[in-house]
């Protein structure tokens, strides 16, 4: 039997000898031969350190599928948010111009038509347009951040349950952003 010392903070790092001086930072496991390390990896499961078979590509396929699912979900949300993007940009530009003119002078139809239908004055409509534009920008940034969380799925030693849990949390957070958008 051979004693192997795995670093607790990164179970992919180990040493066989010498015995580490700071043994509290390592997990000691006995194996039959060094060849075991070619096919097994140490994981923390249910509070216990256990040797399990290394990924055989199955997890990589699952990770790719989950990552693609996250991208697809984000794309659906983006397509809703950007459906009238050119109109939003024109309205925002008109509102910025009207505000920078101290709400005086000619007002764009993007503002006046919106104000009339929403039963607002032009100044209030302008401020509302700018608030909504800033809110959408903030939501888009947060959606991008959630989408980038997909790389958490590439962390080593994740179980299928952990992979699914991370995926589900990302999707839930994206759905929360979509709900915030719909609620105004």
Each residue's pLDDT expressed in tens, for the chain with a length of 184 residues:
899 999 999 888 899 888 999 989 999 999 998 888 888 888 888 889 998 887 656 578 899 999 999 999 999 999 999 889 999 999 999 999 999 999 999 999 999 999 999 999 999 999 999 999 999 999 999 999 999 999 999 887 788 889 999 999 999 999 999 999 988 7
> pTM for the whole thing?
0.65
pLDDT of residue 184: 73
φ/ψ of 41, rounded to 5, equals -140, 150
Predicted local confidence at residue 141, as pLDDT: 96
Strand bridging mode 26-31 / 40-45? unpaired
Cα dihedral across residues 101, 107, 111, 117: positive or negative: positive
The reported pLDDT for the residue numbered 158 is 83
Buried (b) or exposed (e) across 153-183, using 16+ Cβ within 10 A?
A: beeebbeeeebeebbeebbeebeebbeebee
How many CA atoms, within 13 angstroms, populate the side-chain half-sphere of residue 52? Answer: 16
Which parts of the chain fold into alpha helices (H)?
36-39, 58-81, 85-100, 109-118, 122-148, 160-182
Which pLDDT belongs to residue 56?
57
Strands 26-31 and 48-53: unpaired
CA dist 57 to 11, 36, 63, 64, 68, Å? 19, 18, 10, 11, 16
């Amino acid at each position: 039997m051979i004693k192997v010392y795995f670093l607790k903070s990164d179970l992919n790092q180990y040493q066989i000898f010498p015995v580490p001086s700071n043994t509290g930072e390592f997990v000691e496991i006995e194996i039959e031969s060094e060849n075991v390390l070619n096919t097994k990896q140490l994981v923390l499961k249910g509070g216990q350190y256990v040797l399990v078979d290394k990924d055989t590509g199955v997890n990589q396929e699952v990770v790719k599928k989950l990552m693609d699912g996250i991208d697809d979900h984000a794309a659906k949300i983006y397509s809703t948010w950007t459906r009238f993007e050119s109109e939003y940009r024109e309205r925002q530009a008109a509102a910025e111009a009207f505000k920078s003119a101290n709400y005086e002078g000619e007002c764009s139809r993007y503002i006046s038509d919106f104000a009339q239908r929403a039963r607002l004055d032009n100044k209030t409509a302008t401020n509302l347009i700018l608030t909504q534009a800033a809110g959408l920008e903030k939501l888009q940034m947060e959606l991008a951040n959630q989408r980038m969380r997909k790389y958490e799925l590439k962390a080593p030693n994740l179980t299928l349950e952990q992979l699914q849990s991370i995926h589900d949390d990302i999707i839930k957070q994206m759905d929360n952003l979509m709900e915030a958008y719909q609620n105004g």
